């Protein structure tokens, strides 16, 4: 068994490119044989409490019987059919659900196959809208620094241009307008100075810009920063005043992760275009959606092309749509908000000791997100090994050690997760 595992690992290291890794200096990987509940079962027999929800997607954990049943029921009917000229009940039912739970007037849905693609579609919608309105000069975007919107090219162009993961492509990416990230923490008293940089940017460039795009309340992979919902409220007002569309990237913040169903709900606003993904299928299959309004869809459909010029092969995949609908029904089958509050209170208590460590810059918690920001970058491979040795799965990056556990995690498991995180952090960089 050990030889077989090692042979597979050797092949993996030699031939398979993992996310954000080098083929000449590959990071260590850990073979998973199965997963159930909140546990990842390694091929060598060890069990790890998953603190990452598989990059924030597996909100109900793994091997959930209701989601498994939805997948098995649908696959016997059809796993996939093209969405061009064909429709099906899984896509219709899921779209009904999404319209029901997202803020009005979002009622037009484009079903796509990944978060990055949903951002590409959102941007394309914005540009096509203004082109159809006889304003082709509105062909750039505005956003804030420290953001992350995906790895495809236009999505990369609105990620942080300096500290982001894509700065090496700056010379070939489209050029957009950036201002400083919101400096106001989530619970800070509001001061209009917090929105001043964005207001100045909008006043200067609104005639040539199609939209403002940002992640609501939580900046995810760009820094795990939480900012005041009042910023969103003020931004919505500015977009209305200066005739700009507002695109909200809810891929990481959607479906309850922040304590509200969507990040924009903290501010009681609605965007013109919204992107959702990640937790949409509970981590079972890749699926995303871009939602917009009748106003925007009518303008695009009445324009030069007469259509939104996009169409992924696997859009509206019936297997993914069936699982997504079951996943959302499962979320609403219990008091999900009280459950997120439970997780939040445990994360606050469990990570609080980290504030006393001299190597820690900040500790912050919002909903089912817990972040420990270090003063210096961590040695990811080394600290990852320590987490695995302690029976937990945490995937740090840069200076950030964070957790976004599955919503089904129990108190004892959450206590173990935060205790082990704290123990290892206490010895990191000391």
Catalytic residue among 50, 113, 160, 249: 249
Q: Which two tokens stand for residue 360?
A: 């820690």
Respond yes or no: is residue 242 known to be catalytic: no
Residue 224, phi-psi category: left (phi > 0), alpha (psi -120 to 50), beta (remainder): left
What Rg do the C-alpha atoms of the chain give, in angstroms?
22
Q: Which two tokens stand for residue 417?
A: 């997760």
Catalytic residue among 20, 171, 187, 192: 20
Catalytic residue among 234, 278, 346, 420: 278
Question: Residues 392, 46: contact at Cβ < 8 Å?
Answer: no
**What distance in Å separates the CA atoms of residue 180 and residue 182, rounded to the nearest whole number?**
6
Respond yes or no: is residue 20 known to be catalytic: yes
Pair type for strands 209-214 and 360-366: unpaired
Give burial (CB, 10 Å; 0-12/13-18/19+) of 124.
middle
Pair type for strands 245-249 and 400-403: unpaired
Respond yes or no: is residue 402 known to be catalytic: no
> Strand ranges (DSSP E) for 208-279?
209-214, 218-219, 225-226, 245-249, 273-276
DSSP H or E segment with residue 47: strand 47-50
Respond yes or no: is residue 278 known to be catalytic: yes
**What distance in Å separates the CA atoms of residue 423 and residue 416, rounded to the nearest whole number?**
10
Catalytic residue among 39, 62, 129, 148: 148
**Count of residues in the chain:** 430
CA proximity to 201, closest of 238, 175, 231, 173: 238
DSSP 397: B
Q: Which residues are catalytic?
A: 20, 148, 249, 278
């Amino acid at each position: 068994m050990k030889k077989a595992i090692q042979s597979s690992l050797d092949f993996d290291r030699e031939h398979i490119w993992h996310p954000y890794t080098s083929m000449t200096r590959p990071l260590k990987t850990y073979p998973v044989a199965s997963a159930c509940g909140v546990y990842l079962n390694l091929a060598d027999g060890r069990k790890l409490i998953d603190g990452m929800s598989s990059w924030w997607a597996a909100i109900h954990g793994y091997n959930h019987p209701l989601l498994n049943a939805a997948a098995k029921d649908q696959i016997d009917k059809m796993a996939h059919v093209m969405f061009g000229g064909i429709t099906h009940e899984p896509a219709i039912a899921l779209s009904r659900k999404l319209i029901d739970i997202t803020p009005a007037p979002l009622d037009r849905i484009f079903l796509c196959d990944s978060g990055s693609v949903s951002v590409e579609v959102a941007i394309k919608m914005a540009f096509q809208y203004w082109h159809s309105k006889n304003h082709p000069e509105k062909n750039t975007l505005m956003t804030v620094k420290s953001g992350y919107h995906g790895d495809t090219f236009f999505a990369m162009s609105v990620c942080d241009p300096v500290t982001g993961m894509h700065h090496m492509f700056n010379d070939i990416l489209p050029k957009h307008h950036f201002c400083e990230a919101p400096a106001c923490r989530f619970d800070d008293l509001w001061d209009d100075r917090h929105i001043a940089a964005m207001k100045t940017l909008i006043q200067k460039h609104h005639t040539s810009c199609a939209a403002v795009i940002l992640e609501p309340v939580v900046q995810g992979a760009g820094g795990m920063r939480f900012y005041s919902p009042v910023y969103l409220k003020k931004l919505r007002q500015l977009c209305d005043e200066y005739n700009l569309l507002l695109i909200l990237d809810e891929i990481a913040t959607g479906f309850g992760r922040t304590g509200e169903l969507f990040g924009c709900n903290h501010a009681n606003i609605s965007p013109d275009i919204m992107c959702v993904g990640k937790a949409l299928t509970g981590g079972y299959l890749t699926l995303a959606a871009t939602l917009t309004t009748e106003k925007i869809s009518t303008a695009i459909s009445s324009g030069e092309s007469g259509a939104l010029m996009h169409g992924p092969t696997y859009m509206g995949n019936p297997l993914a749509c069936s699982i997504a609908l079951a996943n959302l029904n499962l979320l609403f089958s219990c008091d999900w908000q009280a459950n997120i509050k439970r997780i939040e209170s445990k994360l606050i208590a469990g990570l609080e000791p980290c504030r006393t460590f001299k190597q820690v810059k900040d500790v912050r918690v919002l909903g089912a997100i817990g972040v420990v920001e270090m003063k210096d970058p961590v040695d990811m491979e080394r600290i990852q090994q320590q987490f695995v040795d302690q029976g937990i799965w945490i995937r740090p990056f840069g200076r950030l050690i964070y957790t976004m556990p599955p919503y089904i995690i129990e108190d004892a498991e959450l206590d173990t997760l935060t205790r082990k995180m704290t123990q290892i952090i206490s010895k990191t960089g000391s």
